[in-house]
Amino acid sequence: MRILYVCHRFPFPPARGGKIRPFNMIKHLSARHEVVVASLARSPAEAEAGRGIADHCTDFMMGEVTAPAAWARMIARLPTPGPSSMGYFYSPDLARQIETRLRHERFDLIFVHCSSVAPYVSKVAGVPKILDFGDMDSQKWLVYRHFKPFPLSLGYWLEGSKMAAAEQALAGQFDLCTCTTKAELETLQGFAVPTPSDWFPNGVDQDYFVPTGLPYDPNAISFVGRMDYFPNQQAMRFFCDEVFPLIRRQRPAATLAIVGAEPSAEIRRLGEREGITVTGTVPDVRDHVRRSAVNVAPLTIARGTQNKILECMAMGVPVVASPQAAAGVDAVPGEHLLVAASAEDYATSLLALMSDPAARQVLGAAGRSRVETHHSWASSMARLDRIIEDCLQRYHAREPRRA
């Protein structure tokens, strides 16, 4: 089968959340099918690194987008019904390349990851099409508005409302739609679009993220995530202002490592506080996570799966997460990870794990086991295969002559 795979960020190297899911799909599908990848690069360095995808697919198309052009397209969409964020992911060059390939070549399936690039192929007919929303981006914008002052809050509400309308319309232009979690699927199904829908989870590389059994620092807490990302910044401001002082009051030697690339000036200033380190980019996040007694994920803005939670669980390091972050992981709160809803809850759970090595070991082992059974890429991709087969059967049953 020949598959055209379109995604919003060039999926190689798979070093960040938006690239990990599409890369693993492409790698899996290429084992049995011819896969042509179409995606975007935003710098010469990203474009050069992205060419490594050639080892994992049949061919690829790349559209390079500069920041000024992307922002100009976003601003141009402000007075229109279309979401501005979709302008950020539009490349006239990539659109022409896709159109040319579709005109001159035959594909058996078009697979799109992320609604922001679905317009490239939304009008294409005569080929079965699957749209993997991943996360429902509209809900993220709508949540953002609660954390922004007026009139920015109004702008986020407007963008979220536009995106919700676009997601609903796009869902009706594809033959099947998917999401990353059951919670995201409920949002999609709430649009009441008759298009069939399903979900399949993210996995984690269980051979790379493994427990080592080496000694850890019982006073150390870690947080992992890109620090140019607003939800991560908001989470760390809350944790450092509201939670960490409670912990230090009872455990003065407690430390916090904020591990992630591109920390803003505000986040770097957190590192000036006693006991807090802001690392910036590190060669290997695993060293910092394994060194810690516990990992924390206090995100109040969280859609889809938090890959860093899965990675920490896979390494056998217990996680204390917000209800929003935990909802994206197929795990049982209290059994595979702990959930906290207030500063006091976080402090109580973290201090308990830091003070009780046996409880830490039990929770860490349970987290690792859950990842092995519910978040392996092998089982996730087997589910994807069944979803694709179902889509093709439905499509060809409707269009027997095309079949």
Q: How far apart are CA 343 and CA 349, in angstroms?
A: 10
Evaluate if residue 328 carries a pLDDT over 60. yes
Backbone Cα Rg of the chain:
22
State which H helix or E strand residue 269 sits in: helix 265-270
pLDDT at 183 over 90: no
d(CA 8, CA 398): 30
Query: Looking at residues 98-126, what average pLDDT do you find?
Result: 96
Q: Which of 94-103, 184-193, 281-290, 302-311 has the lowest mean pLDDT?
A: 302-311
Domain ranges in the chain? Answer: 2-203+377-398, 217-374
**pLDDT greater than 50 at residue 117:** yes
Write out pLDDT tens, residues 75-84: 999 899 999 9
What is the CATH code of the structural domain delimited by 217-374?
Answer: 3.40.50.2000
Q: Where would I find the H helices in 273-401?
A: 285-291, 307-314, 323-326, 343-355, 357-374, 377-398
CB contact at 8 A, 22 and 7: yes
Q: Quick check: 324 pLDDT over 50?
A: yes
pLDDT digits (tens, 9 = 90+) for 163-179: 999 999 999 999 999 99
What pLDDT does residue 403 have?
A: 44
Q: What is the mean pLDDT of residues 201-207?
A: 92
- In this predicted structure, the answer to whether residue 375 has a pLDDT above a threshold of 80 is yes
DSSP for 57-109 reads SSEEEEEE--HHHHHHHHHHTTTSSS-HHHHHT--HHHHHHHHHHHHHS--SE
In angstroms, rounded to a whole number, what is the distance separating the alpha carbons of residues 133 and 120? 14
pLDDT digits 0-9 by tens, 7-55: 999 999 998 778 999 999 999 999 999 999 999 999 999 999 999 999 9
Structure tokens that stand for 151 in this block: 């009139």
Which has more confidence, 242 or 140? Answer: 242
Task: Give me the architecture of the 2-203+377-398 domain, per CATH.
Answer: 3-Layer(aba) Sandwich (3.40)
Contact 296, 239 (CB under 8 A): yes
Give the model's confidence band at 400: pLDDT under 50 very low, under 70 low, under 90 confident, else very high: low
Residue 293 pLDDT grade (very low, low, confident, very high; cuts 50, 70, 90): very high
- 401 has a pLDDT exceeding 60: no
H or E stretch at 321: strand 319-321
Interstrand relation of 276-280 and 255-259 (parallel, antiparallel or unpaired): parallel
DSSP 8-state secondary structure symbol assigned to residue 242: I
> 152: pLDDT confidence band, cut at 50, 70 and 90?
confident
* pLDDT reading at 127 higher than 80: yes
Q: How far apart are CA 368 and CA 209, in angstroms?
A: 10
Q: For position 151, what pLDDT does the model report?
A: 87
Domains 2-203+377-398 and 217-374 share a fold: yes
Confidence (pTM): 0.88
Mean pLDDT of 338-363: 97
Amino acid letter at 18? G
* Confidence band, pLDDT 50/70/90 cuts, at residue 66: confident
Edge-first strand order for the sheet with 2-7 is 59-64, 34-41, 2-7, 109-113, 129-134, 176-179, 197-199
- The DSSP string of 139-177 is HHHHHHGGGS-TTHHHHHHHHHHHHHHHHHHHHTTSSEE
In sequence order, what are the residues at sequence separation of 6 or more whose Cβ sits closer than 8 angstroms to the Cβ of residue 24? 14, 203, 377, 380, 381
